Chains A and B, each alone.
Chain A
Amino acid sequence: MTLDIIIENSPTFILAIPLLFAFLTAVLGWVSEKIGEILFGIGLALTVFFVGVMSFEVLTAESWFYVFGAESPSPENITSFFRITFIADGFAVLATITISITAVAAGIYSYSFMKDESGLNKFYTLFLLTLAGVNGMVLTGDLFNLFVWFEVTSVASCALIAFKNYRGRSVEAALKYMVLSTVGGLVVLFSIGLLYGQHGVLNYALLREGIAGSFTFLDKLALGLLAVVFAMKASSVPMHMWAPDAYGEAPGSVTPFIAVTSLGSLFVLFRLFFGVFSVGLDVAILGSLLIVLGALSMIVGVSMALVQSDLKRLIAYLSVSQVGYMMTAIGVGLATLRSGEGFGDLAMQGGLFHMLNDGVYKALLFLSAVAVIHTTDIRSLNDLGGLAHKMPYTTFFFLFGALSIAGIPPTSGFSSKLLIYKSVYLYSPILAIIALVVSIITFAIVAKAFFNAFLGPDQSLMKRRISKPMLWGMGILTVVLIVFTLFPNVVVAEIVDPAVEGLIGSLEGGLP
């Protein structure tokens, strides 16, 4: 009985726990920073536990709606328009697993990396608020609730970026992020107003019914506004320019976590396209939009990465180009699923598997780059060199992440890119060629970064050693990547396929 209650309410625990512990950390952290640290650890662990509970139930039993405010949080109570719903399906599982893996690694890394900073209770509070916000964005089934979590994520992650407020560049990056997020939030709110004015509902499922009945000009406007805002937050070209600033200047330990909030926006974009707007218009149009933005992101992201000499900015631009792969693959899936051409499933598998991979290897690359900067106080590839002599573990972690992002066999990055190449080629050989060329250039870029930073004679650049928690943070991500690398079929069958089924199901009238 108790177990059933825990399972049924797990989506809400995933948000309630970090919110509660964010509050406790802020309040009790004043008494002692040690208490704040312990509360942060407990909050993070419990959140991950409930993500595990929800994931286990969805992957072994069934997806479900969680309806707030109803006598029982079951799907039949969705009829009230004001009841917020959460969607616990395969797609939400994939998203929350990706977020959780990164959060755990970044959290452990932060314990040691941030220890010399003051006001750590605020840091842990902001971390937990960001975790709650991004999980809320991917779990919610209600537009206004989406806006709330969008704002929570934006405000908390902006404060995280500016946490080292004695660095002018961090504050500048945070200001840019805040302005863009605020404008984005207002646009989302305006879109919600348009849709509510048209259909009188905010729930995804009910909204979809309304849009199916009549897709008006204002619906079209709302679709365009929402698409652009979430594409911007996902760092899609040409609205990507905030990302290298934010990723480059955020405290090193939370950089991958800030990056995963971008992935959260991408998850929301796909959820809205498949689950809400796919009934109102030809899905090939929505797919084409994603494909164009994706192809641009791949090309521009990798082109700009090639000319970077700052290690963190280089990885940030590579992450922009990886977003392009996901948008292209899901765009191909969306454009072809209803045409019955058969490779839409393959594209979706590739795109979503790549999202899972990207969350992990991008985090690994960022954390190992931060370890380099932390030990040497040098960010420029022009001044680094020979670190493999003194940092063997970090060298291995960086190499593994680099091979994965470049899609070199046998890494999991290759497995997901293989699915993308195959499916995208069947849709348009030119797109497949772009994806392949971008991968080759990505390999050249990470080879350059690896060579510059780690190879060559020892230059005695190390000023301090990296601590064990930092190594554990990177080690966790490496172990996850090794598992993904060795068993891609199992990952695809057990985690990715349910997510694909969730999205395709929403296209065909299932859970939105």
Chain B
Amino acid sequence: MIDIVLENWSPIVFIVVLLLNVLVAYWLYSMGNPEYKKTKYSGDPFISGNRSPKDVKKLHVAGDNLFWGFKKALKRYYDPLIDGHTGRLNDYMIWVVITLAVVLIYLYLVV
């Protein structure tokens, strides 16, 4: 019988602690100014003091706007990686053949 289990990890304890944190956060929130009144600008994003655009699409950060710095910094890694994913069936087969050759050579040499 295998006796190794997930020792020292209890998701239920984690969730209880998480809920306690939520309660504390709510308590802090409830201590805020109850007389605050919403203005017509309440809830608008803060764009360095500029008026927020009326077109809601311009308020949202789209997919390609995220991690562009990461991709740019790793350009030398990403360029060949993306170029390798050509979408051509011939290339898919070539990779299978290459892997097959490497695995067989590995098994031939080490076994």
Contact = CB atoms under 8 A, between A and B. Distances in A.
A289 B106 contact: yes
A410 interface: yes
A222 to B, nearest CB: 10
A385 B95 contact: no
- Classify chain A: how many residues form its interface, as a range: 35 or more
B68 to A, nearest CB: 10
B100 A225 contact: yes
A458 to B, nearest CB: 7
A306 B111 contact: no
Contacts of B95: 238-239, 241
B80 to A, nearest CB: 11
B31 interface: no
Interface in A208-251: 215, 217, 220-221, 223-225, 227-228, 231-232, 238-239, 241-242, 245
Interface string A169-181: 0000001100110
Interface in B1-26: 1-2, 4-6, 9, 11-12, 14-15, 18
B81 A382 contact: no
A493 B96 contact: no
Contacts of B92: 176, 180, 239, 241-242
Interface string A485-509: 1101100110001001100000000
A227 B2 contact: no
Interface string A152-193: 000000000000000000000001100110010000000000
A385 B96 contact: no
Given A289-B103, A415-B6, A386 B11 contact: no
Interface stretch (A109-117, A256-264, A448-456): A448-456
A228 B99 contact: yes
Nearest to A458: B56
Interface string A298-340: 0010011011010000000000000000000000000000000
Interface residues of B, number: 45
A373 B15 CA distance: 32
Contact of A281 (B82, B96, B111): B111
Contacts of B98: 238
B63 A306 contact: no
A444 B104 CA distance: 37
B60 A486 contact: no
A46 B15 CA distance: 37
Chain B CB within 10 Å, residue with most, of A224, A346, A419 = A224
B89 interface: yes
B85 A238 contact: no
Interface in A270-319: 281-282, 285, 289, 300, 303-304, 306-307, 309
Given A306-B71, A415-B9, 19 more contacts: A217-B108, A224-B103, A232-B99, A239-B99, A242-B92, A289-B106, A303-B78, A309-B63, A345-B4, A381-B63, A384-B63, A386-B56, A410-B15, A414-B11, A415-B11, A449-B63, A456-B61, A459-B57, A500-B2
Interface of B: 1-2, 4-6, 9, 11-12, 14-15, 18, 56-57, 59-64, 66-67, 70-71, 77-78, 81-82, 85, 87, 89, 91-93, 95-96, 98-100, 103-104, 106-108, 110-111
5 closest Cβ pairs, A-B complex: A381-B63, A410-B11, A456-B60, A385-B60, A410-B14
28 contacts: A179-B93, A180-B93, A223-B107, A224-B103, A227-B103, A228-B96, A228-B99, A228-B103, A238-B99, A241-B87, A241-B95, A282-B111, A285-B107, A300-B81, A381-B63, A382-B63, A383-B62, A384-B63, A385-B60, A386-B60, A418-B6, A451-B61, A451-B66, A452-B63, A486-B11, A488-B6, A497-B2, A500-B2
